Amino acid sequence: MLEFYKKALMTVLGLLVASALLAYLCLERAFLQAALLPAAASEYPWQELPETDANRGGLSTVTLHDARYSLDVELFLSSAVEHPQAALSLVFQGRDGKPTLIDLTAFDGLSFNVKCTTDNVLSFTAFTVDEQITEPGEFLTYRAPATYISCNSQWHEAHIDLTRLETPMWWLDAFEFAFSMKDYDLSRVAKVMFGSSSQSPMNTTSRVQINELTLHGRDWRYLYLLAAMLFLLWSAAGVWLFRQHTRALISDLRQKLHKDRPLVAYQQLSVEPKRDKDKESILRFMATEYSSAELSLDSMSAAIGVSRTRINDILKAELGFTFTGYLNKLRLTEAARLLTETPEVSVAEIAYSVGYKNVSYFNKLFKEEYNCTPRNFKALYEQTPGDPEH
């Protein structure tokens, strides 16, 4: 069994390493991240585009300081027109440098660090395609769900839930949608925009700085795949280890049975009876009378005329057992033989035939000797019939 335990330990260690590797690979793909800054390293190339209300006669301005490593922009919101606007858009581009639509459905969040030199409430807007309304290049026709972020002179981390943006009422009203039709589709996004809101400071410059702009998402398929793979891997290993354990146990039992059987056959004992009549009498008597339920140290002493102490001394010196220990060894060895060679005989019948009056006591002793119950011992041998010596 020692070899089995070594093999089992190595198998479990291998499974733990394989499981850890699988978990790392699947979790790496399940929890998605895509950095938009710095711009040169972004997985989704984009081009910055300042936007103001100038086309409506407004005087709002956008002064861009950096759009490569961070978004550093000054927004001046003028009250010269109704609904003034000052914003910076990130227009997504293909590898050819032309505007394109990107799929953001794998992402459910956007995080970044933000600071405003003047306290501000910024808007974040995603411009998405609406099948019924959108005309390519006409951003007013894109459905534009938005949310708002507060910022002040202290850097802090902001999180936007991309699944909980709100389509503006004015847009729904302008295109005659019911106000309840607020759903949007992130599978085709033309651009995202950070800009002023109706609560931004008027007629004053507000510097906005944003860095570590990162998209976050979860692909649950990889977690499901991980769970399935771990279940199959450990289940297969469990079945294999169970079979290996059964084989090792059978082999161990066969070896033990083969080793112990000579104890039953008096003529195979390692003593020389002619040289010591007491030894001869003791071993011969026990080899022939062990199956008697009435056999005891006292009855044996009376039958062969050897004292109790002498009997125990001889058995201890010759075989390493006391009378009771050697008697149980003989009985249990014979019981093991009968279990393997007479499968039609019940455990109880075998217990009685080798000298035990109490089947429960027999089961207890047998389990201590062979590390399994007589019933399991019998079942193991019925599964793998053969000569115990091989």
Residue 57 pLDDT more than 80? yes
Q: What is the pLDDT of residue 262?
A: 52
Residue 125 has pLDDT above 60, yes or no: yes
Q: What is the pLDDT of residue 281?
A: 86
What is the average pLDDT value for the chain, to the nearest integer? Answer: 88
- What CA–CA distance (Å, rounded) separates 367 from 375? 10
Give 289-339 pLDDT, tens digit per residue. 888 989 999 999 998 888 999 988 888 888 888 999 999 988 998 888 888
> What is the DSSP secondary-structure string of 108-157?
EEEEEEEEESS-EEEEEEEEE--TTT-BTTBGGGSB--EEEEEE-SS-EE
Res 385 pLDDT > 70: no
Give 390's pLDDT tier (boundaries 50, 70, 90): very low
Q: Which of 186-190, 215-219, 246-250, 303-307: highest mean pLDDT?
A: 186-190
The residue that leads in pLDDT, 209 or 246, is 209
Q: What is the DSSP letter of 1?
A: -
Q: Is the pLDDT of residue 15 over 80?
A: yes
pLDDT digits (tens, 9 = 90+) for 175-185: 999 999 999 99
What's the pLDDT band for 383 if we cut at 50, 70, 90? low
Tell me the three state secondary structure of residue 98: coil
DSSP 44: S
Per the CB < 8 A criterion, the answer to whether 264 and 327 are in contact is no
Superfamily of domain 264-383: Homeodomain-like (1.10.10.60)
pLDDT digits (tens, 9 = 90+) for 223-263: 899 999 999 999 999 988 887 877 777 777 666 666 665 55
Model confidence, pTM = 0.60
Which are the contacts of 150, defined by CB distance < 8 A and separation ≥ 6? Answer: 119, 120, 121, 122
Q: Which CATH superfamily is domain 36-218 in?
A: Galactose-binding lectin (2.60.120.430)
Name the band, by pLDDT with cuts 50, 70 and 90, for residue 84. Answer: very high
- Per-residue confidence band for 66, with pLDDT thresholds at 50, 70 and 90: very high
pLDDT surpassing 60 at residue 388 = no
In percent, the amount of the chain with pLDDT more than 90 equals 59
126-174 pLDDT, tens digit each: 999 999 999 988 999 999 999 999 999 999 999 999 999 999 999 999 9
CA 195 to chain CA centroid, nearest Å: 44
The more confident residue out of 260 and 265 is 260
- How many CB atoms lie under 10 A from the CB of residue 339? 24
Residue 121's pLDDT is what?
97
The arithmetic mean of pLDDT across residues 57-63, rounded, is 96
Identify which of 308, 310, 264, 306 has the alpha carbon closest to the alpha carbon of residue 281.
Answer: 306
